[in-house]
Amino acid sequence: MLPDAPEFSENERDAISTVAFSCPYTHGNAVYKARVLYARFAPPAHYDELVICNSQGVYKNGPSKLDDLIYTLNNTTKKNAWNLEDDLVKLYPNPTHQNLTIEGDNLKTICITDLLGREVFRKNCNLK
């Protein structure tokens, strides 16, 4: 038998509810922990990950952008360089947490996205 549910304030209940109904692909294990807490003060809920994540912009119907990125990373050369229309582009160090060096001829634009495909950086490289 479970001990009595702790008393949560209305603000705490709102916060727990918000996290419990978040997409675990973007919010991680906190979602599952919040669902356990949510069950302590609310009736059992059904969590349809596909519906929840799709409604939050994380589409899981087919190959995800993360799957595409993993495929691309697994199929790049050991030197972390690949050929784009006969132009060699090098990115290093890989992995990196802060600074990334990008080398290549005829680069026009650099666009970096996160694992969900959201653009986090864009720079025009026309140096003429």
Higher pLDDT, 70 or 48: 48
Alpha-carbon dihedral sign for residues 67, 95, 118, 113:
negative
Residue 107: name the closest of 122, 118, 96 by CA. Answer: 122
Distance of alpha carbon 78 from alpha carbon 75, whole angstroms = 9
Distance of alpha carbon 6 from alpha carbon 41, whole angstroms = 8
Q: Where are the domains of the chain?
A: 10-55, 65-124
For Cα atoms 64, 122, 124, give the angle at the middle one, nearest 5 degrees.
135
Give per-residue pLDDT as tens, 2-56.
556 568 889 999 999 999 999 888 888 999 999 999 988 888 888 888 888 888 8
Distance of alpha carbon 22 from alpha carbon 28, whole angstroms = 9
Give per-residue pLDDT as tens, 77-117.
444 444 455 556 777 887 777 787 888 777 778 887 777 77
Crossing angle, helix 29-41 and helix 10-20, to 10 degrees?
A: 130
Which residue has tokens 């290549």?
A: 104
Q: What is the pTM of this model?
A: 0.44
3-state DSSP call for residue 82? strand
* The pLDDT value given to residue 49: 83
* The pLDDT value given to residue 116: 74
